[in-house]
Amino acid sequence: MTVWHEPIAGFQYQTHVIETSTQTQTERLEACGVDPSVFGDDVDPAFYIGLAIHAGIDSGISAEGNINMLQRLIQHRPAKLGEALTVKGEITAVTQVPRGIRVDTDVWFEDETGARVISCPRTSLRPQANQGASNGPGAGQRPENVITDVSALARLDIYQLTPERVKAYSIEGNSIHYEQEAAEKAGFRAPLIGGGMGVHYLTAQMWQDRRPHAFDTAIYFRRPIFWDEAVQVGVIETPDQWQAMGLLKLPMNDEGEGGSTKVGTEMAISDYQPA
């Protein structure tokens, strides 16, 4: 049985070797509704968000009920399908906030030479019992919005989420992504997609339209994206590169809740190097 530990600054994750196979990538991306062929023999770096979280779970740091607030995703170079990488990580800070505790971690994936291939620093919220779940002021200072005007975005691919699709993608570790009861207990109307699942739609667009060699992104999870919503990728573009991307929550149909288009996830892009 797993021995669970309370997060403390300086806690070191267990080290182990992982690799992503073509079959795994194909199955998981198809569950999202993403065409895996856009990545060629590259691993979609969005996978490492979940792999970093599970590195903590494997080391005894529970992810149950946790809310991903800020995720950096840094690609130093493309990871290749079937390439063995060593995962390492540590908890860098633990801070008390009104809704619980904020936990800062740094997890990275090294190649056989010891060079970083992917880095996944992360800030998450562990809500206190009966306090709901939010990334608002109760979770600490809220970073400035990356996307201030949705109407200024160039609108690209659209995806329709379904409970079946989200359950097919989700894996054990945080049941708010696949169980109605757990989601309601955490204060949500329905299960919500994991942050990493939403990022697949952004990275797929990036590889499809502006394939990168390296980049540094800061990803903010502004609003929960529920398993029955439609989402669309939007970008802030310049002639040479995209400055930012957003995963937009589209208004629901007449049988659901209406409303305007909102930003669910936004991603600031820096240090972009084309392939």
Per-residue pLDDT tens over the stretch 153-187: 999 999 999 999 999 998 766 789 999 999 999 88
Average pLDDT over residues 180-207: 94
The closest of 76, 52, 49, 95 to 221, measured between CA atoms, is: 49
- Whose tokens are 């989402």? That residue is 231
* Domain positions in the chain: 16-129+148-274
CA atoms in the 13 A half-sphere facing the CB of 11: 19
- What is the pairing mode between strands 67-75 and 116-119? antiparallel
The Cα 47–Cα 42 span in angstroms is 11
The closest of 122, 70, 69, 71 to 99, measured between CA atoms, is: 69
What is the model's pLDDT at position 131?
47
Instruction: Please write the tens of the pLDDT for every residue from 235-253.
Output: 998 877 789 999 999 987 5
What is the model's pLDDT at position 255?
46
Average pLDDT over residues 181-210: 94
The closest of 51, 35, 179, 26 to 108, measured between CA atoms, is: 51
* CA dihedral sign of residues 203, 229, 99, 139: positive
**pTM of the entire predicted model:** 0.88
What is the model's pLDDT at position 174?
79
Assigned fold of 16-129+148-274: Thiol Ester Dehydrase; Chain A (3.10.129)
Give the number of other CB atoms < 10 A from CB of residue 216.
16
Return the structure tokens found at 22: 């073509």
The Cα 232–Cα 202 span in angstroms is 9
Return the structure tokens found at 15: 């080290």
The Cα 227–Cα 48 span in angstroms is 21
> What length is written for the chain?
275
Instruction: Please write the tens of the pLDDT for every residue from 83-138.
Output: 999 999 999 999 998 878 999 999 999 999 999 999 999 999 988 764 444 444 55
